[in-house]
């Protein structure tokens, strides 16, 4: 899983590939389980006991419990699955993106309406690291 891949050179981007899918399998199973009301109720009743049903790493478990959104992606979380955990906490997708970028949802929305982030310094790290 440590193979260097050409897309690792994209700044600020975690590509959800087969290695990430394998790494985050149990984390993603936990997150997607929250789409069902009985599971949300079980999680609400005892977060620790519910999350322990999924054999995640200690780091994944803590990141999920502490709502560390970017870390969840680094640890193998799929954005669509982790958004189920965010929804459980009352965070919609736009708000989640605002949190993950550090921009807040209002500024994130404005950036997207204007066409998204600038391509400057957002192509490949190798193009600008040594400048």
Per-domain residue ranges for the chain?
Answer: 15-91, 92-126
Do 63 and 51 contact (CB within 8 A), yes or no? no
d(CA 30, CA 19) in angstroms, rounded, equals 18
Query: pLDDT per residue over 75-116, tens digit each?
Result: 999 999 999 999 999 998 888 888 887 777 787 777 777 777
pTM reported for the whole predicted model: 0.80
* Fold classification of 15-91 (topology level): Protocatechuate 4,5-dioxygenase; Chain A (1.10.700)
Query: pLDDT per residue over 38-66, tens digit each?
Result: 999 999 999 999 999 999 999 999 999 99
């Amino acid at each position: 899983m440590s193979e260097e891949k050409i897309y690792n050179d994209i700044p600020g981007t975690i590509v959800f590939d087969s290695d990430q899918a394998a790494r985050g399998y149990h984390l993603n199973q936990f997150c997607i389980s929250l789409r069902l009301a009985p599971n949300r109720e079980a999680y609400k009743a005892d977060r620790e006991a519910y999350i322990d049903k999924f054999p995640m790493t200690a780091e994944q478990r803590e990141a999920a419990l502490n709502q560390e959104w970017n870390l969840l992606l680094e640890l193998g979380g799929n954005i669509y699955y982790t958004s189920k955990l965010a929804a459980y906490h009352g965070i919609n997708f736009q708000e989640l993106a605002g949190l993950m970028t550090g921009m807040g949802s209002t500024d994130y929305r404005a950036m997207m309406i204007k066409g998204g982030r600038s391509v400057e310094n957002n192509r490949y790290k190798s193009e600008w690291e040594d400048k």
